[in-house]
Structure 1
Amino acid sequence: MAEPMDVDNEGPSTSKRTLTRSISVPFQPPKDLTVGYIYSTEMTSHFDPRGHQEAPERITRIWQAIVNEKYNTKMQWLPIRPVTKAEALLVHSQNTWDLIEAFQYMSEQQVVDSEAYYDQLSLYVMAGTTRAARLSCGGVIEACVAVARGRLKKVFAICRPPGHHAEPDQSMGFCFFNNVAVAARVVQKLTPIKRILILDWDVHHGNGTQRAFNDDPSVLYISIHRYDGGTFYPCGEFGSMASCGEGAGLGFSVNIPWPEKGMGDADYIHAFQRIVMPIAMEFAPELVIISAGFDAADGDELGECKVSPTGYAHMTHMLSGLAGGHLVVALEGGYNVDATTNSALAVTKVILGEAPDPLPPMRASETATETIYLVAKEQSKHWKCIDTKGCEPREEVESISFSIPEILKAHREHYLYTNFQMMQVPLLSVLENPFTGQVMCTRDLFENKTLIVLAHEFGNLRLELESSATCDLNLERSYLIDFTKELMRWINSEGHALLDVNLFPKPFAAQNTKRSHKKTGRYDEGTALLIYLWDNFIHLSGAQNIIFIGHGPACQPVMELIDARCSFFSAIFTWLLLTRFPVVNSITKRVKAVIQVVGNGKVPVTPKKSDELRSWYGKCSYVLLPSNHYIFGPESNHSWKKHGMLCPVEESQPVKIIMRGLPGIQDFIKAQLAKRS
């Protein structure tokens, strides 16, 4: 398919070209589309006959791939036009403009004579350079203005030559006009949008873009690039992590300088999660521009890094969540044509609304984590959102480190032993890893007439924030709420045995707590643990009065235990157990109370195996609910009638419900024990 027509409104000399090219305008999608593109083969008029990495195929191949996938039919074409002098001078000097304008008048001999001079600037020039450079810059302007004015949500500017190395007073590094810098200034001048984020993931530092906004707090410039101690192009200390802007713009330049080649998806995603996205969200841009160089792509010999198309897609997806989705992707570098094309196509899919392909399990390299930690230390001087401690590499201390839940569980184990002389219950190897130290019992488990089984999940961490805007934690004022303390004191004072079961698996355990037994054919870890405890400890104990107390998400495993063991014994081995083992219906004969403390979530199901079981449950059930629970509302299906005694509490959080409802729990247990005795 042919490329779109070009429009140049700056002189009559182009009218004939415009007219003759009008027949090559491709199918135009409906005007109500929200994604657009910029492209023209006139930008291929800049080329080096000797051969060069920055070749026309960089954009023609991207365009052809988009056409092959028919993505162009889902995108709105934006007419391209050259940058004007007034626009260029918003960033560049008069001398820079004059030099670029002069290229179009150079003879072949002048081009040859100037090669040595421009080689030292990493440039090549020819008569077609002027037109291509002005169209490339003008195309990015049109893309940004269209998004800033609300005509489109997202635009991909498939433009060359690139621009991010072009400084206000000097073209360099394959770049002539700084496309994104000029476009940002035009947007600020012509639209209400003033706060702009430029994210530069080109493998080279965008020295020109940072230079244009180095003292300007209205533009946040973030660059992820190879630095190699200042020896990687464009070289020098300007792209170091300590280069953070100056004057009013101090802190609004963020450099993430990789110290070596070979950085990949895990490293870039780590940089996004720890540095890019937190700072971007605190800055809250009104427009996001990606300086999308694909020379960090796997296979690019200049960049020598390993970012995949999927990695670029995920970074685009994260940036799409900023600025209300207002995003411009402007092509910069990328010199392996296949890698650049595939990466650009992956980005196009994302801006069209498709989800990025999944990434495999990854872990950032030691080099990346150390770099991000150092960047975090530097940027924490300017941004409240940066958590330096959270970025600290753990490889060297991981074997001797402990997570906060592990520390708190160890503390609770010590508390139960010290205050109630409770011991660990031995577990099977399959349960030991996720639940070791989380099942404790009093010493009289097998002798006491009354046993209370308290099933719960991890206590509530009450975290105090220093600032609600940045979510920084004030650790000195944070604490753990353990609602079980008062309940356990009461159980101990009454002389009952206690089995305390924390159903929250350790962080490294495989969790499946949200899947039901009916859907998976197997129980989750919490239910499996309770069944194991029933079969090997509770059922074999001497307790004739067993009380179950389930709190929050632990209510469901308690009910699944009752359902599993009642149906197991009655449906399969009833005849055997009646004749040889007096344990049939052990739950219904020995369990005197089932207490559930739930929040605003769904109330666990009631037993459904038999009328006898439902009748038993109705007589020993006690459920504490917030008074505004849906079960009390007009839309309720009256399922509450199956639960026996319901106690509404004027609280909404389970931790507060049990604190307010503790006297009622105590009275219910006493009444059940007295009635059954």
Structure 2
Amino acid sequence: MQSSMQVVEESDPMVIDSVEPSAPQSTMTAHAYPPSSEPDVGFVYDTEMTLHCSPDGHPEAPERILRIWKALVSGHYISRAKVIPTRQVLEHEALLVHSQKLWDKVEAIQYMTQPQFLDSEEHYEQLSLYICAATTLTARLSCGGVIEACLAVARGELSKTFAVVRPPGHHAEPEEHMGFCFFNNVAVAARVVQNLTPLKKILILDWDVHHGNGTQRAFNSDPSVLFISLHRHDGGDFYPYGPFGDLDSCGEGLGLGYSVNIPWPENGMGDADYIHAFQKVIMPIATEFDPELVIISAGFDAAEGDDLGECLVTPVGYAHMTYMLAGLAGGRLAVALEGGYNLDSITKSALAVTEIIMGGAPPEMGPMVASEAGARTVWLVARQQSQYWKSLNARACEPEGLPCAAASYSSYKTVVPTEANSPPLPTQEILKLHRQHYMYSEHGMMEVPLVSAELEQRFSGQVICSPDVFQCETLVFVVHEFGNLRVEMSASVMRDAQLERANLIEFSKDLVTWVKAEGYSLLDVNLFPKPNGSILRPKTKSIRALRQEVITYVWDNYVMLSSGRNIVLVGHGPACQQLMDLIDMRETSVVESVRSVIQVVGHWPPCLPSRPENLKWYRCHSFLALGCDHSIRRKVQEVEWHGHVLDVDEDRSVALFAKALPDIKRFVKAQLSCLK
């Protein structure tokens, strides 16, 4: 088969038109190859892919690929490579992954009238999409471009390619388009490669900050494609939301073990975390799988400076990851642009990847240590995946000092709602709603309204109080994350939603019974936020800042305005951190009124006030309930900062709280009796 690719010289109009639509002709000197030397790297780009745009502005904008292409041209990369002609994906190719219904929906967009565009705007916004007259063309070009980039490598015409395309594709599922994506470019390309070339074993590595839900669904039961994704998950509170993409989403049927998810629990993940994941999990699994082709879903929204991703990966980090992947599959590597919305960040990151595929070596990184959250996540993934991959040694990944049954960033089953087309509610939300209903209906608890729309959106209905909250002399102020199933996960405990619901209700009954019997009032705050709803998360406060705002608002406007002069602070699991924040932020009023500080941490690390002057006071008033074999027991000096310490032979967090409650009651009564 004769190659249709071409070497781009300085006079090639494609390069000039591709820099800027109205740019003057370039005078850049092209790097000429001798007749015996042919470029081994190719690029895909087409100016028509810039036609998909929103008149109101949008992060997924034409400038994303314009800026990258301009930098590639001005950096003399294109003149040393081949430009692969782009084409539209064909219907039979798209149907290798997508349903006929989805194909028809995307095809129909090009025939819509302006009133139809306006009428459908809300529907597409719910899917995190926008459309215009050129959407069909650009979506087909983007997918077709990635197909050609992968075929060029699979056929041996080139060793490496980079498809600078848009719109992205990795969120597009077999039955639905979503999240800025219409067709799943890399998934369709992988299927075309398998159909048209001898290459069958394909690794798709997705480092976009969002989980490649569409790509995983396309191959979830297929052992011929190994899908690996590093992404923010935030316990299911980051787009595309929910359990899919958590560490125990490992595929199904014959594909079990061929989906590997590395779900970061928070923002701020950087080079050290990503390289640690590559060294400990990704490269061992990839080497054992031994792919014949590697495709990178190269989203650059985990790059430093991207407001949607809020992570810290640098161009050097992307270079090292590319370099490691380029050592697989005999060097056969195709890179396809996915997300990334800071123009400077995606341009620098794309250039760093290009340097590697053009034969460069990655720059030195210097000493690095993965963050605690990153190291813990990698260990949990290794522990999960080691049942499928012999090359993984989970014990070697265990961070020093981590509890043997540390909490997992685990998934939860989704519950399909009865209302058609409503988003599914995760089990965590069902559990929270069930407990709230129980507290309202059985114990007369009342909802505390919150002051801002942002707090209402994330915590509405989750701050409740007893009717006598302003009247009793002693007030029990409980903060927790009940319903957060990752708090319940341990090395030996499997989650069961029905059991968790029963535990929550039983403990809530015991808690209210104790408070009422002693004549106390109760303030109950659930700090596990509701999930956000769109990939376009507005730039807002961090979750920790929102939690601090909730707890200080309740303290200032309810606790301090009540008749209670004896306050009992009770924290459960990760919410204990907010108690320490409260102590530091409201030091004077806390020291004057708080008689007991209870932490029921299970296997989570216990917290201390950050201000040294509060440590002595805290030690005199604190009670700490630990799960069995907690790692802090091996750190004598840390234990000494906590006053009364109780070991509880229980792994499950809520059950541990219930077992510790009798000792908590005695401790509180003793602390209050000292005042008489």
Q: TM-score, normalised by structure 2?
A: 0.55
2:205 aligned residue (187, 193, 199): 199
* Match status 1:334 vs 2:340: yes
The aligned amino acid for 2:359 is G
* Match status 1:387 vs 2:408: no
SS at match of 1:273: helix
Q: Which residue of 1 aligns with 2:324?
A: 318
Shift of 1:360: 2.2
Shift of 1:105: 1.2
Point out 4+ residue stretches in structure 1 off by more than 3 angstroms.
Answer: 1-6, 23-31
Q: Distance in 2 between matches of 1:359 and 1:105?
A: 51
SS at match of 2:110: helix
1:357 aligned residue (355, 363, 366): 363
Counterpart contact for 1:47–1:56, Cα < 8 Å: yes
For residues 121-132 of structure 1, the aligned pairs below 5 Å read 121-132=127-138
Change in 2 beyond 3 A, CA 1:25/1:34 = farther
Q: Distance in 2 between matches of 1:357 and 1:113?
A: 51
Counterpart contact for 2:223–2:255, Cα < 8 Å: yes
For residues 205-224 of structure 1, the aligned pairs below 5 Å read 205-224=211-230
The aligned amino acid for 2:49 is M
Q: Which has the higher contact order (CA 8 A, sep 6+)?
A: 2
Change in 2 beyond 3 A, CA 1:137/1:28 = farther
CA deviation vs aligned residue, 1:295-319 (integer Å, no higher than 9, x gap):
0000000000000000000000000
For residues 226-625 of structure 1, the aligned pairs below 5 Å read 226-395=232-401
Shift of 1:221: 0.1
Q: Distance in 2 between matches of 1:280 and 1:35?
A: 23
Q: Distance in 2 between matches of 1:302 and 1:264?
A: 15
1:182 aligned residue (180, 183, 188): 188
Q: Distance in 2 between matches of 1:4 and 1:235?
A: 44
Shift of 1:28: 9.6
SS at match of 1:126: coil
The aligned amino acid for 1:128 is A
Identity %: 66
1:73 aligned residue (69, 79, 84): 79
Shift of 1:361: 1.2
SS at match of 1:105: coil
Q: Which residue of 1 aligns with 2:142?
A: 136
1:102 aligned residue (104, 108, 132): 108
What is the aligned length?
383
CA deviation vs aligned residue, 1:121-179 (integer Å, no higher than 9, x gap):
00000110011000000000000001000000000000000000000000000000000
Q: Distance in 1 between matches of 2:32 and 2:152?
A: 16
Counterpart contact for 1:221–1:253, Cα < 8 Å: yes
Q: Distance in 2 between matches of 1:195 and 1:259?
A: 30
The aligned amino acid for 2:187 is A
Shift of 1:104: 1.1
Q: Distance in 2 between matches of 1:3 and 1:208?
A: 37
Change in 2 beyond 3 A, CA 1:227/1:89 = same
Change in 2 beyond 3 A, CA 1:272/1:149 = same
Shift of 1:24: 11
Q: Which residue of 1 aligns with 2:164?
A: 158
Shift of 1:341: 0.4
The aligned amino acid for 2:60 is E
Counterpart contact for 1:147–1:153, Cα < 8 Å: yes
* Match status 1:118 vs 2:124: yes
CA deviation vs aligned residue, 1:299-349 (integer Å, no higher than 9, x gap):
000000000000000000000000000000000000001100000000000
* Match status 1:34 vs 2:57: no
Change in 2 beyond 3 A, CA 1:35/1:275 = same
Change in 2 beyond 3 A, CA 1:166/1:3 = farther
Q: Distance in 1 between matches of 2:27 and 2:157?
A: 21
Q: Distance in 1 between matches of 2:318 and 2:288?
A: 23
Shift of 1:356: 1.1
Shift of 1:2: 8.9
Change in 2 beyond 3 A, CA 1:120/1:354 = same
Q: Which residue of 2 aligns with 1:55?
A: 61
The aligned amino acid for 1:96 is L
Change in 2 beyond 3 A, CA 1:248/1:101 = same
Q: Distance in 1 between matches of 2:299 and 2:162?
A: 13
Q: Distance in 2 between matches of 1:48 and 1:33?
A: 37
Instruction: Give the root-mean-square deviation of aligned CA atoms.
Output: 2.1
Change in 2 beyond 3 A, CA 1:2/1:236 = farther
Counterpart contact for 1:4–1:40, Cα < 8 Å: no
SS at match of 1:197: strand
Q: Which residue of 1 aligns with 2:406?
A: none
Change in 2 beyond 3 A, CA 1:116/1:360 = same
The aligned amino acid for 1:46 is H
Q: TM-score, normalised by structure 1?
A: 0.55
Q: Distance in 2 between matches of 1:36 and 1:325?
A: 14
The aligned amino acid for 1:268 is Y
Counterpart contact for 1:312–1:343, Cα < 8 Å: yes
The aligned amino acid for 1:85 is E
* Match status 1:148 vs 2:151: no
* Match status 1:83 vs 2:89: yes
SS at match of 1:288: strand
The aligned amino acid for 1:188 is Q
Change in 2 beyond 3 A, CA 1:25/1:235 = farther
Q: Which residue of 2 aligns with 1:671?
A: none
Q: Distance in 2 between matches of 1:199 and 1:28?
A: 32
Counterpart contact for 2:379–2:398, Cα < 8 Å: yes
Counterpart contact for 1:35–1:152, Cα < 8 Å: yes
Q: Distance in 1 between matches of 2:93 and 2:249?
A: 27
Q: Which residue of 2 aligns with 1:522?
A: none
Counterpart contact for 1:5–1:79, Cα < 8 Å: no
Counterpart contact for 1:279–1:385, Cα < 8 Å: yes
The aligned amino acid for 1:321 is G
The aligned amino acid for 2:218 is A
The aligned amino acid for 1:217 is P
CA deviation vs aligned residue, 1:254-300 (integer Å, no higher than 9, x gap):
00000000000000000000000000000000000000000000000
Counterpart contact for 1:157–1:329, Cα < 8 Å: yes
CA deviation vs aligned residue, 1:398-431 (integer Å, no higher than 9, x gap):
xxxxxxxxxxxxxxxxxxxxxxxxxxxxxxxxxx
CA deviation vs aligned residue, 1:17-76 (integer Å, no higher than 9, x gap):
xxxxxx999979758211000001100010001000000010000000111111111111
Shift of 1:111: 1.2
Q: Which residue of 1 aligns with 2:571?
A: none
The aligned amino acid for 1:117 is H
Counterpart contact for 1:111–1:126, Cα < 8 Å: yes
Shift of 1:108: 1.9
Q: Distance in 1 between matches of 2:200 and 2:299?
A: 24
Counterpart contact for 1:3–1:25, Cα < 8 Å: no
The aligned amino acid for 2:333 is L
Shift of 1:396: 5.3
CA deviation vs aligned residue, 1:161-202 (integer Å, no higher than 9, x gap):
000000000000000000000000000000000000000000
Q: Distance in 2 between matches of 1:199 and 1:321?
A: 14
